[in-house]
Amino acid sequence: MDALIFDFDGLILDTELSELQSWREIYTEYNADLPLEQWAKCIGSGADSFDPIAFLEAQIGRRVERDDILTRRRKRHLEQLAAEVLLPGVETYLHTAKRLGMKIGLASSSSRNWVSGHLTRLGIADFFDVMKCGDEVAHKKPDPELYLGVLSAFNISGDKAIALEDSPNGVLAAQRAGIFCVAIPNPVTSQLDLAHADLRLKSLALMPLEELIAEVEKGRQSASIAGVIEDGS
C-alpha cells in the first residue's frame, strides 16, 4: 500500500455528534423533530445536500428567521467542538504511516478552511501530503471526485491506497474511486447502514496500521483468486 487517505468529519474529529445535537436543540425550540434518517442525507456529503431549516419549516408550517437560527446553531456547535480531541488511534496511524513511507491524504466534503483550521488546532496539519476539500470540486461524496483528486495528486491507482471513512456516503465515494475502504463509525454514523464497507472497525485504536494493511492485502488476494475461479468456471 502506497497511500492512506483520511476523511475528516467524524473520522479524525467527532464533529458529527455536536452538529446533530445543535440542530436538534433548535428543533426542540419549535416542538419539532429531526430524525437521523433525514440528517443522514448530509453526513459525509456536505451541508448543501440537506436543508435542515427547510425541513423544520415544512414540519411547523411556517417560515422561521433563518439567519438567526444559523448564527445561534453554529455558535452552539463550535462551543461543543472546542472540547473535542482527536479520535482514538488517529495520531498513531499518522505516525505509523509516516514511518512506513506511505503518502498521507485527506478527502473531505467540508471546506478547506474548516478542515485546515481544525487540523492546525489539533497539531496534525503537517502530516498530510495532499488535501482535497468540498469547496474545490464540482461533486462531493458519494461522488468519487475528491478521492480521485487525491489519487491523481499522488500519481497512484486506487488499488494502492486505503481509505478511512465513517459514513455511508464516504464509503461509497472511496469505493467508486477503486479504493479499499475501512469504516470506523462514530456514535452517530454507527446507527447507519455501513454493510457495504470493505472492513468495519469500532476504533482505529483496536487494529495497528500494519495489521490493517495485511488484512487489506489478504482480502484483495482472496478477491483476485475468486475472480480467477469465476472466470474459469
Q: Residues 19-78: pLDDT tens digits?
A: 899 999 999 999 999 998 888 878 877 667 789 999 999 999 999 999 999 999 999 999
Among the listed residues 2, 7, 33, 67, the single catalytic one is: 7
pTM confidence score:
0.87
Quick one: pLDDT band at residue 230, thresholds 50, 70, 90? Answer: very low
Q: Does the annotation count 9 as an active-site position? A: yes
Q: What number is the average pLDDT over the span 194-215?
A: 96
Q: Does the annotation count 7 as an active-site position? A: yes
Among the listed residues 2, 9, 33, 193, the single catalytic one is: 9
> Comparing 10-19, 201-210, 214-223, which segment has the lowest mean pLDDT?
214-223
The secondary structure of the chain, three-state, reads CCEEEECCECCCECCHHHHHHHHHHHHHHCCCCCCHHHHHHHCCCCHHHCCHHHHHHHHHCCCCCHHHHHHHHHHHHHHHHCCCCECCCHHHHHHHHHHCCCEEEEEECCCHHHHHHHHHHHCCHHHCCEEEEHHHCCCCCCCCHHHHHHHHHHCCCHHHEEEEECCHHHHHHHHHCCCEEEECCCCCHHHCCCCCCCEECCCHHHCCHHHHHHHHHHHHHHHHHHHHHHHHC
